[in-house]
Structure 1
Amino acid sequence: SIAPNGDPGEIVYTQPPLQSTSYYKIAQGEYITFGWNFTNVAVTPTAITVSAACDNGNTYPVGPSDGIIAGNAQSVVWYPYGYQSANPGLPLAQAEYTLLVFAQGGPSAIPSPGYLAPNSQLRFALYTPQPYTPLASGWQCAGCGGALEQFKAHPASIALLTTLLVIFLSGFTTLRRVWD
């Protein structure tokens, strides 16, 4: 029996840690494991849906079976590269995602004592690595090319700086004469 004033069931993540955003590569052979424990779950759900909600508004199923796993499962392994290859019409974005884990009630179910409450606490990011380009083949730093541009001085700014320097030094010399 479930106490009517009991706590709703919750997920406590064991992998990856919640303290910081984890970054995962969308590449061949790179798998992601999400793991959790249950607390206060008195009624085991028949199934759990796991999906990744992207900041771009799209939601992607997580896991091998369209995001639906056994209700007592405590982890899911996702192969983003496999998903990307099988779904070219809805590719994974290089962005941050929120892992959504919920039971039959859906992602917006009202938490009830003893039943698994929807969870959206875990954030992670996906990225696509760039292919290696050797220096001899013309590799250039993408963020470094325009670094010197911001330091080019305009003639008017040089004139203003020089004028202010002359005024400061003249004033300092005048003050020294007053104090002597």
Structure 2
Amino acid sequence: MAGQTNVRSLNQLLDCHILTIFLASASPEPTASATADSSQPTDSAAASSGESAAATTDKDAKSTGKSESTGKSTGKVTGKVSSATGTKATKHATISDFDPRLPAGGIQMVTPAAIAGQQYYKVGDWVTFAWNYTSLSVTPTAIDILATCTANQGTYTLAVNQTVHETGEVLWDTGAYQATGTLPLLTETYTLMIYDADSSVSATPKAGYLAVYNQYTFGMYTPQPYESFPAWHCSTCNAALSRSEQQTLSFLLGMGAITVLSFGWFAGSFGVF
């Protein structure tokens, strides 16, 4: 009995050993292959996940960079707009910040002086005008200087776009103008006009800005040719008498003298005297 039991146990051990060997010889390669196959998708998925993560990171980084770039660009544009807006606001403030109760800019004549009285210039001579500016808060970039005459509605240009200095001055060669100008100078009264070259002669005065100056008048005359004394006759003089008036006066004086002499003779004859 004991020997049979040992033989049976030995047979069972051999069967188990054989089964183990068979299983070991049959299953390793498929298992390794399956394991390898199953590991490959996992690695691929991991790689894909890594690539996706990297792509996502790169995309986020690019997006962030773009956002930063957009932020820089937006900041620059905003800065420019703010700067432009500030410039416009400053310009607007320059125009409107002056108290409207302040006077407009003006001109005070220096040559000729105010105490010099009315001036008359001969056509053909040089004429000089000089002036100072008053009550200016904004200095014009340039000025235009004209002379106007109401007799012929003419405008004579003395200077245009003249640079502004503390004391303004203009020299006018009336002889050169009379020789070449299309509108001749008349023996009349003229008005000097000075105004901002960026404005006009009809501009409304503004506080602090140069207003159109048209307060100074002067006379101009054209000299007449010389005539000798016998041929000269003053037709416009109040004390001058015409030839007929002179003859009438002579006749009256003669008749008066005859009357006085006649009366004296008769009076002497009758013994009155």
- What is the CA deviation profile of residues 123-166 of structure 1, one whole-angstrom value per residue up to 9, with x for unaligned ones? 00110111222326x33334359932495899xxx9xxxxxxxx
Deviation of 1:18 after TM superposition, in Å, equals 4.1
- What is the CA deviation profile of residues 37-77 of structure 1, one whole-angstrom value per residue up to 9, with x for unaligned ones? 011112111111110110221111114xxx44113361111
Question: Superposed, which structure 2 residues align to 1:98-177 within 5 Å?
Answer: 98-103=191-196, 104-135=198-229, 138-143=231-236, 147-149=240-242
Q: Is the 8 A contact 1:18 1:123 kept in 2?
A: no
Gaps of 5+ in 1: 159-180
What SS does the corresponding residue of 1:85 show, helix, strand or coil?
A: helix
Which of 113, 120, 123 is matched with 1:26 structurally? 123
Give the distance between the partners of 2:247 and 2:209, measured in 1 at CA: 65
Q: Is the 8 A contact 1:62 1:78 kept in 2?
A: yes
Question: Superposed, which structure 2 residues align to 1:72-111 within 5 Å?
Answer: 72=165, 74-87=168-181, 89-103=182-196, 104-111=198-205
Question: Superposed, which structure 2 residues align to 1:50-89 within 5 Å?
Answer: 50-56=145-151, 57-63=153-159, 67-72=160-165, 74-87=168-181, 89=182
TM-score normalized by the length of structure 1? 0.71
Give the distance between the partners of 2:103 and 2:224, measured in 1 at CA: 47
Equivalenced residues, count:
148
Amino acid paired to 1:46: T
Q: Is the 8 A contact 2:148 2:191 kept in 1?
A: yes
Structure with higher strand content:
1
2:134 aligns with 39
- Cα 1:112/1:145, change in 2 over 3 Å: closer
2:106 aligns with 10
Gaps of 5+ in 2: 1-93, 253-273
Amino acid paired to 1:26: V
Identity %: 34
What SS does the corresponding residue of 2:133 show, helix, strand or coil?
A: strand
Deviation of 1:26 after TM superposition, in Å, equals 0.6
Q: Which has the higher contact order (CA 8 A, sep 6+)?
A: 1
Greater C-alpha radius of gyration: 2
RMSD (Å), alpha carbons = 2.8
Structure with higher helix content:
2
Q: Is the 8 A contact 1:10 1:39 kept in 2?
A: yes
TM-score normalized by the length of structure 2? 0.48
